[in-house]
Amino acid sequence: MNLLTPPMGWNSWNTFGSNISDELIRETARIMKEKGYLDAGYEYIVIDDCWSLKQRDENGRLVPDPEKFPHGMKDLADYVHSLGFKFGMYSCAGVQTCAGYPSSFDHEFVDAQTFADWGVDYLKYDFCNFPASADGKTRYATMSMALKVTGRDILFAACNWGTDEPWKWMKSLGVHMYRSTGDIQDNFNSFSKIARSQLDKFCMSGPSCYNDIDMLTVGMYGKGNVALGQACTDMDYQTQFALWCMLGAPLMLGGDVRNMKPFAEQLVLNKGLLRINQDAEGRVPQVVYYGRVINNDYDPETGTWWRDYPDSGLTLFKHMSDHEFAVGYFNFAPKSADIPFIFADAGLPYGSGYALHLTDAITGEDLGAHQDYFHIKLESHACRVLLAKLVKA
């Protein structure tokens, strides 16, 4: 399997948790087809934990819960495939899944063949209930080999939460994407901390093996399985999705796409942002600014006219195909702030004689040509993403 761009799809966990069923998956697939998600690139429909019975059958194979999935997994996979999607499922490197269902430790080869027989195209592979005496790297290598033995192309989405610095070795094991952090929650602090924790590690992500910073919570609005803390606003979701796109992370939706609000639906289908995430060169961005922002409004807490917020401003610069670039500005501070971009920090000093012609990636607004710098004032939690082309000054 040759993954030239980050995988895209939908996963059941963030919204539905254990409340999954054959009907839910079929309806989700139909809606995603009808609303253009597949055409936009969201090709994987993935069932997460809680899909099986609590015991294996007499042949040691996993058994789908007949109440949740009365027609079995092969029939469901066939239906998902008939709509043009690819079908994904969940297991775990430990002896039980995170929710306590039978898992694949010492069952790797039989489970991999079971998944292949069912028509699975994607395996999310978690790390709960893993024996302290076992070696995580070896067990991920074992499942990778077990998937290869089946002869079926199955995307291997390892999920070990960043244990043992997976960005250093997952690619060498044949893994296609790897979870590098703990679980996401549907609030600003959660997703922003997750993304920022990986800024110095995305340099090891790219074609064939991608750093996975978890499923998106866009469109949940405080409802669902990971709806913990203060619910996100539209602005929060735009910042989350823009971060994932700029970083080149996999885009696995976690909201209920059957009932997505118009803002969220238009956001995840935005052609400008998806173009950045799915650019043919598959490059990760350069961090040209990550540091303090100073707000000059009066702060009654300190009695001063300014307040310093460390590590609250972020500017990313991304090389793309066809001599194009993307620039992402992010304000993580609780106040509005100016987010800087000095072109020399991206390799384009004033003395070069060149400028950047800027266009808003989300709205398409033409911002004209600029030399030397282009700073943007952003509201708290806001972002701005621009496309840029070199022009003679």
Q: Where are the alpha helices (DSSP H) in the chain?
A: 13-16, 22-34, 37-40, 72-82, 108-118, 136-149, 188-197, 234-247, 262-268, 271-277
* Contact predicate 141/108, CB 8 Å: no
* Contact predicate 121/154, CB 8 Å: yes
Phi, psi at 384, each rounded to 5°: -145, 135
Residue type, 231: A
Give the span between the Cα atoms of 198 and 238, in whole angstroms.
Answer: 19
**Which candidate in 183, 338, 345, 360 is catalytic?**
183
Strand partners, 89: 123
Tokens 């292949």 correspond to what residue?
A: 116
> Residues 143-167, buried b or exposed e (16+ Cβ, 10 A)?
bbebbeebebebbbbbbbebeeebb
N- to C-terminal Cα distance for the chain? Answer: 44
> Based on the number of CB atoms within 10 Å of its own CB, is 66 exposed (0-12), middle (13-18) or buried (19 or more)?
exposed
Give the span between the Cα atoms of 355 and 349, in whole angstroms.
Answer: 9
Strand partners, 370: 356
Annotated active-site residue 126? The verdict is yes
Phi, psi at 128, each rounded to 5°: -80, 155
How many CB atoms are closer than 10 A to CB 308?
12
**Which candidate in 22, 111, 121, 126 is catalytic?**
126
Compute CA distances 267 → 5, 194, 361, whole Å. 19, 20, 12
Give the span between the Cα atoms of 177 and 23, in whole angstroms.
Answer: 28
Q: Kindly list the catalytic residues.
A: 126, 183
